[in-house]
Amino acid sequence: MNCARCHDHKYDPLTQKDYYGMFAFFHNVPESGVGTYSAPIRRNTPPFLKLPSPETQEKLATLNRELTEANQRLTNLTATVLSADRVEWEDRARSAVPPWSEAETLNANAGTNSLAIKEPGGWVQVPSLKPDVRKVTMAVRVPQSRVTAVQIELALASDNSATNSSKVSVSKLKLVRAESPEAEKHPLPLRPRTLAGSAPAADLAKALDEKAGSSWTVTLSADRTELGAFELLEVARSSNNVMVKLELDLAPDDLLPAWQLRLRATDVASDLLVPPDILAVVRKPAAERTAEERKQVDDFRLAHHPENLALSQHVADLKKRIDETDLSIPITLVMEEMAEPRPTFVLVRGAYDKKGELVTASTPSHLPAFLSGQPTNRLGLARWLVDPGNPLTARVTVNRLWQSLFGVGLVRTTEDFGTRGELPSHPELLDWLALEFVRTDWDVKQMMKLLVTSATYRQDSRATPALRAVDPENRLLARGPRYRLSAEMIRDQALAISGLLVEKWGGPSVKPYHPSGLYEQVVSGTGPSTYVQGKGDELYRRSLYTYWKRSVPNPAMLVFDAPFRETCTVRRARTTTPLQALNLLNDPTYVETARFLAQRMMREGGATPQSRIRQGFRLATGREPRSAELSVLVTGWRRMEASFRGDRPAAERLLTVGETRTDPASDPAELAAYSVVASTLLNLDEAITKE
Amino acid sequence: MTPMKPPAFDPMQMTRRQFLGRAATGIGVAALAGLLNPGLRGAPDSVKPVLPHFAPKARRVICLTQAGAPSQLDLFDYKPHLRARFKEELPESVRGGQRLTGMTSGQKTLPVAPSLFEFKQHGKSGIWLSELLPHTARIVDELCVIRSLNTEAINHDPAMTFLQTGSQQAGRPSLGAWLSYGLGTENQNLPAFVVMISRPSGPTNAQPLHERMWGAGFLPSLHQGVRFSPGQDPVLFLSNPPGITDQRRRAMLDDLARLNHMKFDDYQDPEIQTRIAQYELAYRMQASVPELTDLSKEPRSTFELYGPESSKPGTYAANCILARRLAERGVRFIQLYHRGWDQHDKLPEGIRSQCFDTDQPTAALIQELRQRGLLDDTLVIWGGEFGRTVYSQGELTEKNYGRDHHPRCYTIWMAGGGIKPGIVFGETDDYSYNIARDPVPIHDLNATILHCLGIDHERLIYRYQGRDFRLTDIHGNLVKQVLV
């Protein structure tokens, strides 16, 4: 049908209009894509179905319950906080200039040089600094045993007569406990506060953020001390007086004349560090306050009430966790019709910008007519596809099922039922199977059962030379199918035979063994550029779950004719190459699998080499070995065992391949010899061939 | 157009058992030789190969793919008068409303950036080359420089896919796969199609590659390129696991062959014989591939010829030595990819480093092929997926500029089997923006390559999904002027 995108089909009765008629069924989705190249986001365009696991559902329910409770507690608390001690708080707030206590300055440094301290007041004297010295630190002891806030004070140096103003830019400010070097690694979390006469919190915040080029800048003048107040979000407590260390990084842009610095502290509650606007409201008589002002005061108190703060934080955390959990739920996208169908045109020569005739959704004219009374949308299309009066869908489907069991379809060109496709070898059989498929309600399992239990499928795959000459490809089905297994089946079978297969269902893709260096040669510098091998069970899942990167598909799969998955492939080639032999002989997957099969043979196969090898042969081929076959393998094992007996390190090295460990009680030479036999079994033509 | 001959059968439907089963004579070693990569030879229900269609001039190809698109303006396409137009706006009459990439469509100006590099004429042929290619200058008389190549795609992935497969969209076989399919192999111990990839040594932008670029598309997958990697396993899974000596492997394979022979005696399925042969080939590859990739026995003079990088495994220079060794051993299609030619910015710095990586080894390869008499029947192709713009992407200064993707015209060169040496073909306009004379679309290039190998591009056909496919699809004209 794809040919008809640009022109009427050359061989089949498909017009270009047919193509765009079919196209119109799907050109009708409101999907617009979400996120952009530079800012991808993880949410998808609705509609979609969320498919949470029971564990996730349980977790979400718990979190939502906790959120409801926390919100309730928060509401109750709000009422209590605001009503309980309003009068008392306002009294204290009105008198509020926070009682900053002078602290004892213990020492101070600029870079590695110690700085002078001027008393009274503990003022640290900062001289004109060299350009490479940008860090000033000072340690103080405060008179309290608990500190809730500090105030940093900057002024021109008292002996600075040269200038009458100076600019100081603090690009980074850090406060740490000074009791131990360990405590110094954990800065105290700070919140800038706006107070009467001190710098606005927004300015102070510039000294706390990590942004380059952002700093708290003050202009010092002779008659004025610049102040900055910071609340400690974790109250610093000590059995004795609290000691803290202040670190300032100065912006490197200007050379400063001498200035001075000190730090003072307080232990008043956070809600008594009252900013000027709130203070102004509180100083008004209650009756004169507007509703807006009353709310302003309430909000301030709530925002600085420790218990309320903790609870609000808890609520925010819960919401965040709920959101994260929600985003972790796998979803499946659902297609939605647009309310007003998008106009669809025939595109002249297939060019996206060359619109031709306007078309509406329709099925190809040479196929059975669209069902009357059905909507001309995807639902109607789906019903038309599987309508008993439309034989094509069922024929194509059973032909593919046939191919999956017999290796060749009744119509060999499974992908092409047009005039260039091949005619069926058994037309009546194909029709009967198609009708049977419809009659049994499109039950795939039932159809597979019918096929595998048929006399045709159960025939012996042997053929006399005469029969082979007449029908080399077995199109007449006078014998059973015989062909090499698919890439996925070969690996899965080896894992299953050896007992390594992990039969877990579902989940994200996994990364089994993979040669190193393949990604690095071809991928660009961005994104995951290397293959990180999975661990444990992930190495032994069915190949269905193997991670697939289209630009570098799994090489072992490609070797066995797995398609690239860039285009739809319903029929794979089936080749035989030396690269396949190298893969089955040397890929760690199969070396490890052989060792596991060897262990299984030794465990389940009795005590003699004969019985053990017989067991391995049965597992690999599904039949008993003939005596000649057994004799080759047993003789081979004896020779290999003797060889490893004389070269124990080699045996041990062979047993190290793969992530699983070998039973330390096992005899290396013996196990290595069985591993080689197991590898022989896994490489048998019969083992990787269906017959 | 000559009528396409529908193949008598679909080779994908033809199994080897059928092929072998129908062979009138017994299957000897000679037939097995083709099994590593049995070129199905157009109409394999007759035993006589129909390919090549006529006597080939070249028996093999070395494709030196410069991934990322080298700037033709700074290497081959000399435009002296552009110096006077430094920073002038590209005239709209030249641009002709051409679509730009999203990388420069937002630019306010499209200032002309003349090449910073000096050009000189070289050799008897007097072909102009930039100072960036002093070594190529030595062998310039061997080259046929095509200045009028053009492509349909404007971005790396579709353009490289187009160059390799004749279609911008994924799913078609690559050139090497077509040749493997059409001509099979000459060396039973090595794959017919080998790919080697090198990363740039400098800090330049390396666009990703994609396995499909050397994939077999809808051809049987044994025709896909086999990647050779530096390191212990040049071919994947080549080495025996630890503890398995050659002797032990041989003993194990002997047992395996005995058992498979017993199976064959019972079932008479020729596929079993094929498998037995493949295991023997695998065993032989375990010896032949390391022998091939082991450069330790190359004389010091080799490394001197190929330059300082050639002693480092995995570099373009080391891969060039390997390419010569592969050619000596009869590998049909040898493809090198060197990444890092995508100079959107800092072009002068980036291209210098790319030329450091590639110029000397490329010239050395041509020189050695000539010395050893291999150039006569080896076709060498050097080039990328498109060209670069005359205008600067980003800021243009006296010493620095960048160039965006340019599909309308670019330069590649060919040398060796079947190609006229020492000529320049095709011409671009004053801005190296449009083709002034003798355009060579990608399909024409591919038709010409096939011709050198004795293949009529209209007759190398594979039917898939009800349609006959060719490397050149419904296009392609032979560029006769470049042929000997």
B63 by DSSP, 3-state: which? strand
Q: Which residues of B touch A670 (CB under 8 A)?
A: none
Q: Which residues of A touch B197 (CB under 8 A)?
A: 521-522
Touching B: A residues 412-451, CB under 8 Å: 412-413, 415-416, 418-421
Q: Inter-chain contact B16–A567, Cβ cutoff 8 Å?
A: no
Asked if residues B215 and A566 have their Cβ atoms less than 8 Å apart, the reply is no
Q: Which residues of A touch B252 (CB under 8 A)?
A: 636, 640, 676, 679-680
What pLDDT band is residue A160 in, cutting at 50, 70 and 90?
low
Radius of gyration of chain B (CA): 24
Q: Nearest Cβ partner of A561 from B17, B221, B286?
A: B221
Interchain contact B106–A (C-beta under 8 A): no
| DSSP collapsed to 3 states, A505-567 | CCCCCECCCCCCCHHHHHCCCCCCCCCCCCCHHHHHECHHHECCCCCCCCHHHHHCCCCCCCC
Asked if residues A436 and A450 have their Cβ atoms less than 8 Å apart, the reply is yes
Query: Is the model more confident about A388 or about A488?
Result: A488
* Average pLDDT of the segment spanning B438-456: 97
Give the H/E segment covering residue B128: strand B127-130
* Average pLDDT of the segment spanning A331-355: 90
Touching B: A residues 373-412, CB under 8 Å: 412
Given a cut of 60, whether residue A173 has pLDDT beyond it is yes
pLDDT in tens, A618-663: 999 999 999 999 999 999 999 999 999 999 999 999 999 999 999 8
Interchain contact A284–B (C-beta under 8 A): no
Whole-angstrom distance, CA of residue A107 vs CA of residue A145: 20
Q: Which residues of B touch A588 (CB under 8 A)?
A: 241
Mean pLDDT of chain B: 89
CA angle (B415 as vertex; B411, B416 as ends), nearest 5: 165
* CA distance, residue A577 to nearest chain B CA (Å): 6
pLDDT of residue B418: 92
Interchain contact A517–B (C-beta under 8 A): yes
pLDDT of residue B23: 35
Burial class (CB in 10 A: 0-12, 13-18, 19+), A342: exposed
Interchain contact A138–B (C-beta under 8 A): no
Please give the backbone phi and psi of residue A541, each rounded to the nearest 5 degrees, phi first: -80, 165
Interchain contact B478–A (C-beta under 8 A): no
Interface test with A, best of B255, B266, B273, B475 (most A CBs within 10 A): B255
Of the ranges A349-353, A559-563, B318-322, which is most confident? B318-322
Whole-angstrom distance, CA of residue A634 vs CA of residue B11: 41
Asked if residues A359 and A345 have their Cβ atoms less than 8 Å apart, the reply is yes
DSSP letter for each residue of A472-497: TT-SS-SS---EEPPHHHHHHHHHHH
Given a cut of 60, whether residue B6 has pLDDT beyond it is no
Closest-CA residue of B relative to A463 is B267
pLDDT of residue B11: 41
Closest-CA residue of A relative to B13 is A412
Q: Which two tokens stand for residue B39?
A: 């070129």
Interchain contact B274–A (C-beta under 8 A): yes
Cis peptide before A120 (omega within 30 of 0): yes
Q: Nearest Cβ partner of A657 from B208, B242, B282?
A: B242
Q: Which residues of A touch B188 (CB under 8 A)?
A: none
B62 by DSSP, 3-state: which? strand
What pLDDT band is residue A199 in, cutting at 50, 70 and 90?
confident
* CA distance, residue B225 to nearest chain A CA (Å): 11
Tell me which residue has tokens 């010899």.
A673
Four-CA torsion A362, A368, A372, A375, nearest 10 degrees: -40
Cβ-based contacts under 8 A for chains A and B: 219
Q: Inter-chain contact B268–A465, Cβ cutoff 8 Å?
A: yes
* CA distance, residue A550 to nearest chain B CA (Å): 8
pLDDT of residue A156: 82
CA angle (A92 as vertex; A91, A94 as ends), nearest 5: 70
DSSP letter for each residue of A336-350: ---SSPPPEEEEGGG
Please give the backbone phi and psi of residue B54, each rounded to the nearest 5 degrees, phi first: -150, 175
Closest-CA residue of B relative to A626 is B262
Interface test with B, best of A412, A579, A655, A671 (most B CBs within 10 A): A579
Query: Is the model more confident about B3 or about B257?
Result: B257
Of A271-275, B94-98, B450-454, the one with minimum mean pLDDT is A271-275
Q: Which two tokens stand for residue B155?
A: 């971005």
A357 by DSSP, 3-state: which? strand
Tell me which residue has tokens 């005739």.
A357
pLDDT of residue A287: 83
pLDDT in tens, B290-333: 999 999 999 999 999 999 999 999 999 999 999 999 999 999 99
What pLDDT band is residue A124 in, cutting at 50, 70 and 90?
confident
Asked if residues B36 and B308 have their Cβ atoms less than 8 Å apart, the reply is no
Asked if residues B179 and B224 have their Cβ atoms less than 8 Å apart, the reply is no
* Average pLDDT of the segment spanning A94-122: 80
Print burial letters for A478-494: b (CB count within 10 Å at least 16), e (below 16). ebbbbbbbbbebbbbbb
Radius of gyration of chain A (CA): 40
Interchain contact B292–A (C-beta under 8 A): no
Cα B250–chain centre separation: 36
pLDDT of residue A225: 83
Q: Nearest Cβ partner of B268 from A463, A483, A555?
A: A463
Q: Which residues contact A97 (CB under 8 A, 6 or more apart)?
A: A196
ipTM passes above 0.85? no
DSSP letter for each residue of B12-56: TT--HHHHHHH-SS---HHHHHGGGS----S-TTSSS---SSS--
What pLDDT band is residue A96 in, cutting at 50, 70 and 90?
low
Q: Inter-chain contact B221–A465, Cβ cutoff 8 Å?
A: no
Asked if residues B484 and B57 have their Cβ atoms less than 8 Å apart, the reply is yes
Mean pLDDT of chain A: 88
Interchain contact B18–A (C-beta under 8 A): yes
pLDDT in tens, B106-160: 888 999 999 999 999 999 999 999 999 999 999 999 999 999 999 999 999 999 9
Q: Which residues of A touch B215 (CB under 8 A)?
A: 564
Cis peptide before B290 (omega within 30 of 0): no
CB count, 10 Å around CB of B340?
Answer: 26
Given a cut of 50, whether residue B32 has pLDDT beyond it is no
pLDDT of residue B16: 45
Of A120-124, A608-612, A649-653, B119-123, the one with minimum mean pLDDT is A120-124
Q: Inter-chain contact B267–A3, Cβ cutoff 8 Å?
A: no
What pLDDT band is residue A43 in, cutting at 50, 70 and 90?
low
Whole-angstrom distance, CA of residue A364 vs CA of residue A345: 16
